[in-house]
Chain A
């Protein structure tokens, strides 16, 4: 079955330190990969996506993500964390389009990031 895993429920990091939020997936073919962020009491916001090309994708708010095909991973990174980065982060995958997929995303369960001052 196709799935997305975010192995850490919570990540804690000190302000100014680098952060990584992990995501692995189990999807055949070449999927599209996404990261979204959800601030408290808000809807999800798109951060970045990978389709093809350079394995390092840059997105909003200084975030980037590294695609690793052999490890089927798409980890979110930021060189220097801010307290304002504290939020819930979701990884999502869109499998290759075929009959029945209809462009739906498969979502991870989310990782809560806490950046401590």
Chain B
């Protein structure tokens, strides 16, 4: 039972670099989410998707992009990394009862 898998687990970027955070789920869930978690700030929704080919912005989408070409995959793209994007990123998917299942996270530092 893999659930939600995120790669990489850790990454250090230089300012201005770009990268893609990978997320895949094997539960055939339509809904998927990207969050960032900063100390004391809880979870902030970056983007979400209600199914393949459909994505929408969350609370803090600036500086990020997503795509959803398949039900399984929901990658998050950072185009021009900034120090403000230093955070822990979580991908999640939800079942029909709205229970969200989270990946283990990607810890990103932008220096």
Question: CB within 8 Å of B: which residues of A?
Answer: 9, 32, 34, 36, 41-46, 49, 90, 94, 102-105, 107-110
Contact = CB atoms under 8 A, between A and B. Distances in A.
B53 interface: no
A54 B98 CA distance: 19
B107 to A, nearest CB: 8
Given A44-B100, A103-B50, A105-B98, 20 more contacts: A9-B40, A32-B98, A34-B99, A36-B100, A42-B104, A42-B105, A43-B103, A44-B90, A45-B102, A49-B98, A49-B99, A90-B43, A102-B50, A102-B56, A103-B94, A104-B48, A105-B100, A107-B43, A108-B42, A109-B42
Nearest to A4: B42
- Please indicate which of the listed interface residues B50, B90, B94, B99 has the most CB atoms of chain A within 10 Å of its own CB: B99
- Please indicate which of the listed interface residues B90, B92, B102, B104 has the most CB atoms of chain A within 10 Å of its own CB: B102
Nearest to B58: A104
Interface residues of B, number: 24
A90 B4 CA distance: 19
| Shortest 7 CB-CB contacts between residues of A and residues of B | A43-B102, A109-B42, A44-B102, A107-B43, A43-B104, A46-B99, A94-B98
Contacts of B98: 32, 34, 49, 94, 103, 105
A104 B57 CA distance: 11
B45 A104 contact: yes
Contacts of A9: 40
B74 to A, nearest CB: 15
Contact of B101 (A34, A46, A49, A102): A46
B97 interface: yes
Contacts of A36: 100
Interface string B27-67: 00001010000001111010010100000101000000000
